Chain A
Amino acid sequence: MRNRRGVLGMGTCGLLVLALALPSGSALGQPAEAESAELESVGPMLPPLDAELARPPRPRFSLLPATVSVVPGLLLHGLGPLVAGETSTGARLFLLQGAGLGLLAAGGVPIALSGASRRVIGPLYGVAAVGLGLFTISGLANLYGVVGPAFEPGVAAPRLPPLELEVGYQHVADTAFRYRHFVSVGVVARLRRVRLEAGARMSPDDGNLRARVGGAWRLLGASESARGTADGSALDVEVAALMHRFPTEGFTLGGGEVFLRGRYDMARVGARLAGSFAELGLGLALQGYGYTAPVVDDSLHEQLLATFGYGVYLGRGGPFRGEVLLYYDHRKDDFPGGFKGGSGVPGHLGLRGRALLGEDWGLSAEVQVGSAWVGRLSLVYALGGES
């Protein structure tokens, strides 16, 4: 636990770096227009997103910026919007990329020089993860900024349901374990600044069970249950308890974790990025493995939690609405584990989506790849509806 302070500190640092890209006067989760009076009661607010940015005239798709955004845009992350004529967006993406590379170097170089010393590795990995996150976000924003105009951008749902239930199927292809088929269930309750979550994955054949119970407290941004015209930008602190039972292999993983997660609507960086958002989070888990007798293990293990991703909102308030997120997750105790071949350091990649297809019903799906392939498809019921 000695690294918690440093790790969480870096999560805040990364979000501040993201916020540097803000146009003046815009900020997290603030409604653009009328409903601010109601929403101020549910959480701290920052100045409103400029109405012109929230609903700008749509830029047109053009082939040249799209091409340049790949080559050499994958290396120079502001190039796509710059060629498209949006200098300020391009400059902000260059700033993000530079900040990402700077943090990556600020974390990575001391790691290399210290030989990954046990005395400094936690905070340094946190810095490096935030740097890699910002670098990735600026790269994906560069692509989205030139491809996005080909589509009508989605918006964050004004109100997420107070209670959401889901049930589905998860398939896991892992060469280290025999389990394959899982029943997936989950529930989310939203009450102003608080979000409560519980979920489980159960394998009927194997008896494998992973259950997670947690909650989140919204530090910044509009409540999910009453966003109104606010965007989805927010900062949450999350806590959770985890239990994962492996009856065939004879052990159980148990632990707790604390996590700081931020979401930033990228329309605040530039009009071309409307409809997309970035996520970044850091945290720490403390876990132990319990084995069936006669094996005894009383060790506790820390785990650095880090995630970053880039997503898009789906729909504009009609019957179809939701979001999709492409992400990296550093944790290695979940079904997908971490990528093999990276000296044990890298985590896994994932693509997660959730969409309501009507007032109450929808689908959520997720694909993850690391040590294993994981795919999940769930039916979602939004109690109280979503708008």
Chain B
Amino acid sequence: MRHVSKSVVVFALLAGCSLRPAEERALKDLQVGLAEGSGLTVTVEDGLAVVRRLEPGALTLWGSAPAFHVRIAAAEGEPEAWTMVVVRNAMADAALTATVDDEPLAVEAMPGPLPTVKRWRVRLRPGAEARLTVAPPDWEEPKPFRFAALADVQEALPQVEDIYARINEDPSLRFIFFSGDLTRRGTVEELESFQSHLEASGVPLFATLGNHEIITSDVRWHEYFGRGNLHFTFHGAHFTLLDSGSGTVDPLVRPALDGWLEAGREAVHILGTHIPLLDPIGVRGGAFASRNEAAALLGTLARGQVDLTLYGHVHSYYAFSNAGIPAFISGGGGAIPEQFDGVGRHFLAVEVDPAASVVRTVSLVRVD
């Protein structure tokens, strides 16, 4: 939102823009986690992982959530053999279990090169569909945990490892919940670079995209980091990430969102999206394109008993409330900072108590 000259150019092109600029990305969401080849048919439930590679005897995934399930069907007539399953961006304590019709399959854990890269061998049965679960062993138990919230790295990608180092200093932070603008333009080179720098983090990063990821004409987000709209649970807490990179939520997403809100109604539910629904500095308007769409969505979130909204886009720190929901903007990943705010690079440390259905604390952690 700082690039005024770019905004002028963009504005000149806006008259021809679609009323649903996020539709194509919402459709791409539905294809995430589906792959077929080398005698295997792979379906990641709820699209919570990207199939990065599928080749004879090996499957490589990129995790978009702390815990997810994968269904793998080995073709009839194929010889029974070990299949290597590699999960990148995995929880450090993730384990893999596999079953066919509730019968466990043989699984062997292999050493991984990084805390967030996990490798296993699984003995798949030809002609049968196996269900694999990749998750920390206690991921369904409702117990307190903490996570880091971060957004807006953009051109500060070369320095982002400082932030990961600060996060690594606190072993109680289980993962990074990232609200968009990982990169400056969303090019393949930048996505690759972000992924490469992320190896410095001891915990995985689960993200939605921001407006900067869609500046490139060749948006490849889904091939690298998965869905822009997703929902997952961890220790009984519900997390939803929405793609607001175009200043709107596509109507295709609304039925799924309604389902996620219903699923998380009685639990603690945290929602992250890049562009704030309403900018607390109203004259700036770094928010949804339609204030009324934003207000309607906020009403839906409030009635769905969302407990916390986390935003990026504005490169500073704000604590406020929207429709009565506690809200934080934390765009402290290093992109051109808001001046005169005395904040600098930062992230949020969020403590959740799922058993009590509350967000205990949201703390500002300065990096600079």
Contacts and interface: CB of A to CB of B under 8 A. Distances in A.
Interface of A: 3, 7, 104, 107-109, 111-122, 125, 128, 132, 173-177, 244, 246, 249-251, 253, 284, 287, 289, 291-292, 294-297, 299, 301-304, 332-333, 337-346, 349, 369-373
A337 B290 contact: yes
Contact of A250 (B21, B279, B303): B303
Given A253-B292, A337-B292, A114 B339 contact: yes
A150 to B, nearest CB: 25
A340 B247 contact: yes
Most buried by A among B11, B278, B284, B339: B284
**Main DSSP-derived SS at the A contact region:** loop
B283 A3 contact: yes
B169 to A, nearest CB: 27
A302 B282 contact: yes
Contacts of B322: 297, 299
Given A175-B251, A341-B246, 17 more contacts: A115-B2, A121-B281, A173-B19, A177-B293, A249-B300, A253-B295, A289-B298, A301-B291, A333-B292, A340-B17, A340-B22, A341-B17, A341-B289, A343-B1, A344-B288, A345-B285, A371-B19
B320 to A, nearest CB: 7
6 contacts: A118-B284, A176-B296, A295-B323, A297-B322, A344-B313, A369-B15
A289 B11 CA distance: 28
Contacts of B315: 115-116
A176 B278 contact: no
B2 A111 contact: yes
A108 B247 contact: no
B4 A108 contact: yes
A128 to B, nearest CB: 6
A342 B10 contact: yes
Contacts of A132: 8
A107 B314 CA distance: 18
B340 to A, nearest CB: 5
Interface centre among A113, A250, A284, A340 (most CB of B within 10 A): A340
A370 B247 CA distance: 12
B14 A339 contact: yes
Contacts of A109: 4
A246 B299 CA distance: 11
B323 A297 contact: yes
In terms of DSSP, what is the predominant structure of the interface of chain B?
loop
Contacts of A295: 299, 302-303, 323-324
Nearest to A122: B283
B303 A116 contact: no
B296 A333 contact: no
Contact of A344 (B14, B19, B279): B279
Interface string B209-251: 0010000000000000000000000000000000000111111
Nearest to A334: B292
Nearest to A119: B340
B324 A297 contact: yes
Nearest to B252: A175
Contacts of B286: 116, 343-345
A115 B336 CA distance: 6
A342 B338 contact: no
Contacts of B320: 299
Contacts of A118: 281, 284, 316, 338, 340-341
**10 nearest CB pairs, A to B:** A337-B290, A108-B4, A302-B282, A115-B338, A176-B293, A122-B283, A249-B296, A371-B290, A339-B14, A295-B302
